[in-house]
Amino acid sequence: MNDLRTFLHGLPAFERFNERQLDNLLAQLRLKDFEPGHRIVVQDSQGPALYIIVSGTVEVTRHETIGGEEQEAYDARDGEVIGLLSLVSNMPSPETCTAKTKVVAAELTPERYHALYLLAPAVGHQLQYMVAVQLARDLQQKNKALRKGLAQLKPASLLERLFG
């Protein structure tokens, strides 16, 4: 666990926390292994947990339900967080996260998050902030997709037809 403590303390999201706060976080985390091809989080389903990738690569994909577009996939690697919205009750994941390689991740279930929040409120607040940022990002993407979908539905104005 000392290696995990050092790893977490080196991440920007957790670097400001003292030893006691990190101990409380570590007490709530469980290391999990995932084989290549395993779907860790599935889009439009409630995620099982938040995962901090300790080692390995996870492919993150998102199929936009409005307009049916696939967004460009990206890889999440060591130190990145996936499944963040699983900490919010009844919040389906906006993306699918699939292990590309063997992945080791520190898992924080919603139940353990609530316990952590009571033991180390500052860490809980940091995670809440991360959720808020993720929700804002997702809202911006939905808004962009809606605008694009509406633009495709409405007929072009005379000016748009003349000047493209």
**Contact by Cβ (8 Å): 96, 47:** no
Residue 35: left if φ>0, alpha if ψ -120 to 50, beta else—which one?
A: beta
Q: What is the pLDDT along the chain (164 residues), one digit of tens a residue?
A: 669 999 999 999 999 999 999 999 999 999 999 999 999 999 999 999 999 999 999 999 988 766 556 677 899 999 999 999 999 998 899 899 999 999 999 999 999 999 999 999 999 999 999 999 988 988 887 777 777 776 666 666 666 666 65
Residue 79: left if φ>0, alpha if ψ -120 to 50, beta else—which one?
A: left
CB atoms within 10 A of CB 14: 19
Rounded Cα distance between 49 and 155, Å, is 44
Rounded Cα distance between 103 and 40, Å, is 10
* Domain ranges (residues) in the chain: 2-146
Give the residue among 115, 108, 139 at the shortest CA–CA distance from 14: 108
**Confidence (pLDDT) at 138:** 81
**Confidence (pLDDT) at 110:** 95
**Confidence (pLDDT) at 120:** 95
Rounded Cα distance between 65 and 145, Å, is 9
Pairing relation of β-strands 50-55 and 39-41? unpaired
The residue length of the chain stands at 164
**Confidence (pLDDT) at 159:** 67
Domain 2-146 superfamily per CATH: Jelly Rolls (2.60.120.10)
**Confidence (pLDDT) at 148:** 74
